[in-house]
Amino acid sequence: MTDAAIEVENLSFGYGQTPILESVNVAFPSNRFSVLLGRNGSGKSTLFNIMAGLQKYKQGSVRLMGKERSKMSFSDCARVLGFLPQFHKSVFPFKVKDVVLTGRAAFSAFTPRKSDMTKVGQAIEELGISHLADRPYTELSGGEQQLVMIARVLVQNPKIILLDEPTNHLDVYYQTYVLDRLKKLTENNLTVIAIMHDPNMAFLYADHCYFMKDRTVVTPTEQFDYHASTFLEYVYDVRFTTVMVNDKLMVVPGR
């Protein structure tokens, strides 16, 4: 067993002639909350789609818990990894518990089993949304919907969950609520990897931060800590000022 939940080596990818990723090397440690940051278009979502299996890759390797991703079937992969795509809109007003139940579809062919229902109950309780079980999904607020979709990933019993901008469109209350819950999940042998935009939120909650710049993951060296404003300036092309708030380092864009 390796220490890394996901290992990416020399991964390159592009649409036609346009390169999106160029020799990406990164390893996400298991049972930790890792956050991937970077500017729009730096290739974060594409990297996630490849790791989640929504996008095929030809050059390089991606290993999930030590196994090559491209050699795993959809349902093999579902046992290991759950993915939360960016925004989601449902046309039909399904009940919350029915939406969550569809997370079990890779394991039960035609009708869900009793044990599937139990898992749904556990997942929504773990996220503190049991009271929403019978409400129509379409009538929930953005934050509540996000929690429902996280519950839907949890019922898969994955070892790793990937979340593409889980705190997007959420108010501060739900941002902290969601991040608190995600952080808690890592205590139960889960690896959580999320894309985020706000570096301060990432610094507050993440165990590890990774940055993408120009189609690849850039790692700060030891002397060149990622809290350092110079490194962030390089990543975001914006000047930053660092401030200390209750012993925590925060950054403020501009000066």
Residues that bind another protein (CB under 8 A): 52-54, 74-75, 77-79, 82-85, 88, 90-95, 98-99, 101-106, 108, 110-112, 152-153, 156
**Would you say how long the chain is, in residues?**
255
Q: Which is nearer to another protein, 32 or 152 (CB)?
A: 152
What does the alpha-carbon distance between residue 3 and residue 6 come to, in Å, rounded to a whole number?
Answer: 9
CB of 69: closest distance to another protein in angstroms?
13
Tokens of 178: 């969601």
Cβ-based nearer residue to another protein, 135 or 183: 135
CB 72, min distance to another protein, A: 10
Residue 158 token pair = 């994955």
By beta-carbon proximity to another protein, the closer residue of 79 and 227 is 79
Handedness of CA 29, 31, 37, 40 (dihedral sign): positive
Phi-psi region of 23 (alpha: psi -120 to 50; beta: other; left: phi over 0): left
Nearer to another protein, 185 or 232 (CB): 185
- What's the closest the beta carbon of residue 97 comes to another protein, in angstroms? 9
Q: Tokens at residue 120, please?
A: 């749904």
For residue 204, the minimal CB distance to another protein (Å) is 27
CB of 68 to another protein, least distance (A): 17
| Identity of the residue numbered 44 | K
Nearest to 13 by CA among 46, 45, 62, 42: 46
Beta carbon nearer to another protein, 100 or 206: 100
Task: Report which secondary-structure segment, H or E, holds 14.
Answer: strand 4-15
| Shortest distance, position 216 Cβ to another protein, whole Å | 25
Rounded to the nearest 5 degrees, what angle is found at the Cα of 106, between the Cα atoms of 126 and 132?
30
Closer residue to another protein (CB): 145 or 167: 145
